[in-house]
Amino acid sequence: MYLDLKRSDLALNGGQPVRTVPWLDNFTTGNEEKDAVIRVLDSGYLSKFEGSHTPDPPFSFYGGPEVQALEREWSEYYGYKHSISVNSATSGLYAAIGAIGVGYGDEVIVSPYTMTACAMAPLLFGAIPVFSDVEKETGCMDVESIERVLSNRTKAILVVHQFGIPADMGKIMELAKQHDLKVIEDCAQAHGAKYNNKYVGTFGSIGVFSLNVNKSIQTGEGGICITDDEELAYRLALIRNHGEAVVGPAKYENVVNIFGFNFRLTELQAAIAREQLKKIDKLNDHRLDLVEAFSCGLENHPFLHPLSGRPGCYSTYYVYPLRYEFGISGVEREEFVAALNAEGALFYQGYVEPLYLQPLYQQQSLFKHSYPFSAPENQGHTARYEKGTCSVAELLHEKTMIINEHIRFPHQQRDIEQLIQIVIKVTG
């Protein structure tokens, strides 16, 4: 056995821990955001949205000045024509699936090793999520696995740039073209990440970003969809804002899936997001300096391997994912992580349980009468939800993935040095 966790110097066994001060949360805001909030408060309007085709001034179907300015500035940053802000990436994913016209009888290929909303989005519109496996080296969807689960019902692929590592977009877009599939990109964890020098989010029909409190830039809660397609942009705006009441007066005829929610961002959040957008590159640079320091400190480690990202791509690392070779260490991951955390580190095991193992999929039931699974149009769907469906995702979750979140501002190099010190102490 390589690892000896019985040593008396380990904090686990009563020794002195390496770190005793708490870790900091993801604070990305400062005086600029304070000024922006005050600007909005002084205006008196915390929102200027109205869910109507002909709203009374100063209200608008497209929101107020901060929302519209944020959308313009976001589009400029990404070099895409349209940005549609929403109140979360979850809402953005729901709106995106609705906008592309997916529904009963359709299948959408999704990742099992990601946030639950990715699979909920197709279900909400009556379509069936089909899970493809992920790559061991990145946690992103595996192209060969996507190919294996394609069926004549497949309408779209919902790609996730997991951990801020770009998915294999060249091959995925080629596959989508061959089979006439739509692609939605979940960039919730990948602000500013690039595949072959092109921003993720700008390959598929719609890219979706999160602005929740943990993300590279944030407004507490929030999200943004981007698209180059004018009609998709309008459909996203309709789903965001009570579209069913708007399509009549607007004389918009493609009404399928236009059941409008209230996914609107407030002027306060938009004003904060505008300041955050200005900081995105600086915050990413800081994060990547910490990632680099962490990776250098663990170079050639016998059983702990930082995920290196995809060659030729710019990964922005939402978290710091490591692969743990339990076969080499001779110690279960749970015990190893407990030893690290006893020294004052904060590592998490796995990431999320593969989504198909949730009760929803095990029982194949969401709405009354087991809809949408039992809908006549969905009979004979090809999705599988039993254990073993995506063996790599299960392995990453159960055995090999370890996550650390402290590669972000306001942490500094000295914090990462301490983390490395902890790993070296525990692994000897």
Ligand X SMILES: Cc1ncc(COP(=O)(O)O)c(C=O)c1O
Which range in 85-93, 124-132, 343-351, 394-402 contacts ligand X by CB under 6 A? Answer: 85-93
Q: Does 185 bind ligand X (CB under 6 A)?
A: no
- Which one of residues 188, 206, 225, 383 is an interface residue with ligand X (CB under 6 A)? 188
- Which one of residues 63, 122, 223, 260 is an interface residue with ligand X (CB under 6 A)? 223
Q: Does 89 bind ligand X (CB under 6 A)?
A: yes
Q: Which amino acid is at 77?
A: Y
- Comparing CB distances to ligand X, the nearer of 293 and 307 is 307
For Cα atoms 355, 359, 365, give the angle at the middle one, nearest 5 degrees.
105
Q: Which amino acid is at 273?
A: A
As a whole number of angstroms, the distance between CA 375 and CA 367 comes to 10
As a whole number of angstroms, the distance between CA 161 and CA 164 comes to 6
Burial label, 330 (beta-carbon count in 10 A; 0-12, 13-18, 19+): middle
Which of these, 367, 350, 344, lies nearest to 401 by C-alpha position? 350
As a whole number of angstroms, the distance between CA 91 and CA 72 comes to 20
Q: Does 348 bind ligand X (CB under 6 A)?
A: no
Which range in 19-27, 185-193, 199-207, 376-384 contacts ligand X by CB under 6 A? Answer: 185-193
Q: How far is the CB of 28 from ligand X (least distance, A)?
A: 15
Q: How far is the CB of 140 from ligand X (least distance, A)?
A: 11
- Which one of residues 28, 29, 47, 90 is an interface residue with ligand X (CB under 6 A)? 90
Q: What string marks each residue from 108 to 147 as x (binds ligand X by CB under 6 A) or -?
A: ------xx-xx-----------------------------
- Comparing CB distances to ligand X, the nearer of 188 and 402 is 188
- Which one of residues 50, 142, 168, 186 is an interface residue with ligand X (CB under 6 A)? 186
- Comparing CB distances to ligand X, the nearer of 60 and 214 is 214
Q: How far is the CB of 208 from ligand X (least distance, A)?
A: 7
Q: Does 276 bind ligand X (CB under 6 A)?
A: no
Q: Does 212 bind ligand X (CB under 6 A)?
A: yes
Which of these, 137, 119, 115, 135, lies nearest to 127 by C-alpha position? 119
The H-or-E segment that residue 37 falls in is helix 31-43
Say if residues 194 and 166 touch (Cβ distance below 8 Å): yes
> CA-CA distances (angstroms) from residue 2 to 123, 302, 326?
46, 9, 10
Cis peptide before 166 (omega within 30 of 0): no
- Which one of residues 210, 295, 378, 400 is an interface residue with ligand X (CB under 6 A)? 210
Q: What radius of gyration do the chain's Cα atoms show? A: 23
Binding site for ligand X (CB under 6 A): 88-90, 114-115, 117-118, 160, 186, 188-189, 210, 212, 223
